[in-house]
Amino acid sequence: MTVVRYIPTDPFAPRLTDAPGERYVLAIDIGGTGMRVAVVDRGGWSLARARIPTQPQWGLIDATARLEALMREVMFEVGEVEIGAIGISTAGPVDPTTGIYRHPPNLPGWHGLSMIPALAASFGLPVVLGHDATLAALAETRFGTHRGARDLVYLTLSTGIGAGIVAGGRPVTGSTGGAGEAGHLIVQPGGPSCGAGCRGCLEGVASGSAIARAASEAPAGGLETSLTADADAAAVFAAAEVGDAVAREIVGAAIEGIATGLAGLLALLDPEAIVVGGGLVAGLDSWWDALLDRTREIALPRYGDGVPVERTTLGDDASLLGASLIAFEAVGG
Ligand SMILES: [Zn+2]
């Protein structure tokens, strides 16, 4: 188990954690691939953390039991510290109040179920839950480059695409917890479909799975390419990097879709920043300036001097940190 500490944005800021009797929370992040647990303080510093595979196909009850065992292991590791609450960040769709999932594509079989009651009973602690992208946006306003921002969007570019929105200092959840589905904004009418079936949405055009699908169809076009039918998004980015024309075309189409989506989000929400995270960001590195240029071209004229679009500085931990924030909020900040 590793102890990970974050460098505060302002190293001279008073550390609440120096106060005696400081409380901690258990922060949990649940994705389609892995479940993570960390004991986190108010400053976003983690005393201990651990990760196990989610294995969603074994069902929510099984996942809850394995998660509970991991939580106890991590608590044992840190010894005698006071844990105030449990905060959960999860892939959705999910009702943030009840924790009940609604046909979550990456957690198949979890529909209609919640792990909140079992965890609350087992630990005797308040359990609060939020959508991972929403909590990542919240964490960016507290720990990221835009600390203190009241209007911010977190866009995650990964196997799927989603967004978390903070507006006027509050997370935007929508009437049923479904806000932030930026992946289904139409960016190329009539274009490729996402898994949900909308044609030409951002996820259908530019997600990791969309890029991999485009690569699998590419050799049929007759152009010479080093791409194989089973190439994933990382392989497409790598091939484009060394000049593969087909890969460059796929990456170009993804950039066009992402720029269109970003321009729409800027127009709709006027955020201080759109912070971009997720597994595709590393692959986009070489095209980052091109993406910003194209976004500026598409966006409203007032963005002519540049668009407030940045890559996250919180790595994979943004949603985990967001889970700690709602947990502290549950026990009175
Ligand atoms: Zn869609």
Mean pLDDT rounded to a whole number for the chain: 90
State the distance from the centre of ligand 1 to the C-alpha of 81, rounded, in angstroms. 44
In DSSP terms, which residues pair with 35 in a beta bridge? 30, 52
Between these two residues, 155 and 175, which has the higher pLDDT value?
155
Distance CA 230, CA 251 (A): 16
Distance CA 2, CA 106 (A): 27
Is pLDDT at 27 greater than 50 in this prediction? yes
Token pair, residue 45, equals 């510093």
Is pLDDT at 321 greater than 60 in this prediction? yes
C-beta separation of 214 from 231 below 8 A: no
State the distance from the centre of ligand 1 to the C-alpha of 181, rounded, in angstroms. 9
State the distance from the centre of ligand 1 to the C-alpha of 203, rounded, in angstroms. 6
State the distance from the centre of ligand 1 to the C-alpha of 220, rounded, in angstroms. 25
| Segment 198-209, tens digit of pLDDT | 999 999 999 999
| Segment 295-317, tens digit of pLDDT | 999 999 999 999 999 999 998 89
Is pLDDT at 19 greater than 60 in this prediction? no
State the distance from the centre of ligand 1 to the C-alpha of 284, rounded, in angstroms. 21
State the distance from the centre of ligand 1 to the C-alpha of 198, rounded, in angstroms. 4
| Per-residue pLDDT at 186 | 97
pTM: 0.88
Instruction: State the sign of the Cα–Cα–Cα–Cα dihedral 16, 18, 21, 23.
Output: positive
| Per-residue pLDDT at 6 | 44
**Stretch 225-248: mean pLDDT, rounded?**
92
State the distance from the centre of ligand 1 to the C-alpha of 139, rounded, in angstroms. 26
Distance CA 84, CA 90 (A): 20
Enumerate domains of the chain plus CATH numbers: 16-138+316-330 (3.30.420.40), 149-312 (3.30.420.40)
**Stretch 263-280: mean pLDDT, rounded?**
96
State the distance from the centre of ligand 1 to the C-alpha of 184, rounded, in angstroms. 4
State the distance from the centre of ligand 1 to the C-alpha of 152, rounded, in angstroms. 23
State the distance from the centre of ligand 1 to the C-alpha of 185, rounded, in angstroms. 7
Between these two residues, 136 and 8, which has the higher pLDDT value?
136
Q: Which class for 198: exposed (0-12), middle (13-18), buried (19 or more C-beta within 10 A)?
A: middle
Q: What is the C-alpha radius of gyration for the chain, rounded to an integer number of angstroms?
A: 20
